[in-house]
Copies of this chain bind each other. A is one copy, B any other.
């Protein structure tokens, strides 16, 4: 039976772009939940700085989630961002239980960002042929997440001798 929302993409393009977008929705929701989890559970001398920076990450992740999910709908593909889907399909690296030292939080966030960016990069390649509009959106998200990756990594980096 026909899908309710039509698209200018052909079936194959729609499948490729749709998969990229659905996967990104899941990754970004997980990233926002992990960042909030860290926002609440971080302790240590850099508490305030890390606590605030995590909310900037949450804001970014939430806004991108909405863009990506609505891009999926725009090409006729239903996005799935329910808790169980996120729990099963996320490519993020996860986050430990209970209170966490600030240094451990920074490491965990760098690792999660790296994992999500890696998937995003491969989806940018995948969508080049399928849908330039989708690709452009993923490029914009990569730009911001790679900027955040630098900012988090900068906190644990040292000047090479």
How many copies the complex holds: the figure is 12
Question: Cβ of B154 and Cβ of A143 under 8 Å apart?
Answer: no
Nearest Cβ distance between residue A114 and chain B, in whole angstroms? 8
Question: Cβ of B74 and Cβ of A43 under 8 Å apart?
Answer: no
User: What is the bound-complex CA distance between A142 and B73, given in angstroms?
Assistant: 14
Given A74-B150, A147-B71, A147-B74, are A101 and B36 also a contact pair (CB < 8 Å)? no
Given A48-B151, A87-B86, A146-B8, are A80 and B157 also a contact pair (CB < 8 Å)? no
User: What is the bound-complex CA distance between A37 and B124, given in angstroms?
Assistant: 24
Of all chain B residues, the one with the shortest Cβ separation from A90 is: B83
Contacts of A33 in B (CB 8 A): 29, 81-83, 86
How many A residues touch B, CB cutoff 8 Å? 84
Contacts of A5 in B (CB 8 A): 43, 99, 150, 153-154, 157
0/1 string, A30-68, CB within 8 A of B gives 1:
100110110011111111110111000000000001100
Question: Cβ of B157 and Cβ of A43 under 8 Å apart?
Answer: yes
Question: Cβ of B154 and Cβ of A43 under 8 Å apart?
Answer: yes
0/1 string, A4-17, CB within 8 A of B gives 1:
11111000000000
Contacts of A79 in B (CB 8 A): 37, 40-41
